[in-house]
Amino acid sequence: MLQQTQVSRVVGPWSRFVEAFATPTACANAPLSSVLRLWAGLGYHRRAKALHDAARMIRDEFAGVVPRETSQLRRLPGVGEYTANAVASFAFKERVAVVDTNVARVLARALANRPLSAPEARAMSQRLLGRGESASFNQAMLDLGAQFCRSVPLCASCPVARVCRWRLEGGADPAPRSAGVSRPQSRFEGSDRQVRGRILAQLRGSSLSTAALLARLDGAEPARCRLVLDGLIRDGLVERRGRGVQLAGS
């Protein structure tokens, strides 16, 4: 839920989600439509389907228990290296480094003072783990990047400013050109993402005929809405039922 989404927007949906689905099996046994309804307000609805698919794999292949090894976690739909390492480190205390946008900025600025490729950033962070408890190290790096080494850094109050190579040596900011550092998102207003969200919001209430759905999308071009609707159907988020459409699994 937190991928590309602010914590303040996630807290409410997350609380409702874990109350409804206390275990992966509970989520797997629910229809996708229930997951999509609880995902309201978060956007990027393909993540909700991936989470539901992952829950089903955990139920069917791992006896309902979240796997602890990164190789097994990476098999789950929607789980990449960052998510797999984060779960392995924070949930199971595995000795793996967690590298996200925040950590990548710290590494590029404070340690390297040059842009880093994704493999370089991962290898550097793994070496830094040392012999200590990895979860604490990973949390410290995430917090350092989130609170101080931001896209617009707060160098004056940063706790590692005295040893930061970029601050000491100067030069162009290496972070924006490093792999793993996110780029600004495209404009949401007027985008297909916005239309997708509007369609799913209408279908959370009930199934609708295609004509009724298009009528409710006031101000959106019908031809464009049909294309976006077709994309939602291909993604497995919406399904046709006779002349109407509904959330998948309704």
Residue 240 to residues 44, 162, 173, 197, 219, Cα–Cα distance (Å): 21, 60, 50, 18, 23
Q: Are residues 78 and 114 in the same domain?
A: yes
| The pLDDT of residue 243 | 85
| The pLDDT of residue 4 | 77
CATH code (residue 130): 1.10.1670.10
pTM of the predicted model as reported, rounded to 2 decimal places: 0.85
pLDDT band (50, 70, 90) for residue 3: confident
CB 200, CB 46: distance < 8 Å: no
Q: Which residues pair with 247 in a beta bridge?
A: 238
pLDDT tens per residue, range 87-99: 999 999 999 999 9
| The pLDDT of residue 185 | 63
**DSSP-derived secondary structure for 85-154:** HHHHHHHH--S-----HHHHHHIIIIIISS---HHHHHHHHHHHTTTS-HHHHHHHHHHHHHHTS-SS--
| The pLDDT of residue 6 | 84
CATH code (residue 222): 1.10.10.10
pLDDT band (50, 70, 90) for residue 182: low
Phi, then psi, of 28 in degrees rounded to 5: -65, -35
**Region 162-170: what's the mean pLDDT?**
96
pLDDT exceeds 70 at position 177: yes
Q: Are residues 220 and 232 in the same domain?
A: yes
E strand residue ranges, the chain: 208-209, 238-241, 244-247
Phi, then psi, of 172 in degrees rounded to 5: -65, 150
Q: How many domains does the chain have?
A: 3
**Region 109-129: what's the mean pLDDT?**
94
Select from 150, 167, 185 the last residue of a domain.
185
Max distance between CA atoms of the chain, in angstroms, equals 67
Q: Are residues 151 and 241 in the same domain?
A: no
Q: Are residues 25 and 132 in the same domain?
A: no
pLDDT tens per residue, range 31-76: 999 999 999 989 889 999 999 999 999 999 999 999 999 999 999 9
Burial class of residue 156 (count of CB atoms within 10 Å of its CB; 0-12, 13-18, 19+): exposed
Q: Which domain holds residue 45?
A: 1-66
Q: Are residues 32 and 137 in the same domain?
A: no
| The pLDDT of residue 166 | 97
Q: Are residues 124 and 32 in the same domain?
A: no
Select from 66, 84, 109 the last residue of a domain.
66
pLDDT tens per residue, range 189-228: 778 888 999 999 999 989 999 999 999 998 889 899 999 9
Q: Are residues 44 and 103 in the same domain?
A: no
| The pLDDT of residue 183 | 63
Q: Are residues 207 and 136 in the same domain?
A: no
Q: Residue 143: CA atoms inside 13 Å, Cβ hemisphere, count?
A: 8
**Closest to 170 (Cα-Cα) out of 155, 151, 150, 184:** 155
Q: Residue 122: CA atoms inside 13 Å, Cβ hemisphere, count?
A: 10
Select from 170, 185, 200 the last residue of a domain.
185
Q: What average pLDDT does the structure give for the chain?
A: 92
Q: Are residues 73 and 169 in the same domain?
A: yes
Q: Which H or E run contains 193?
A: helix 192-203
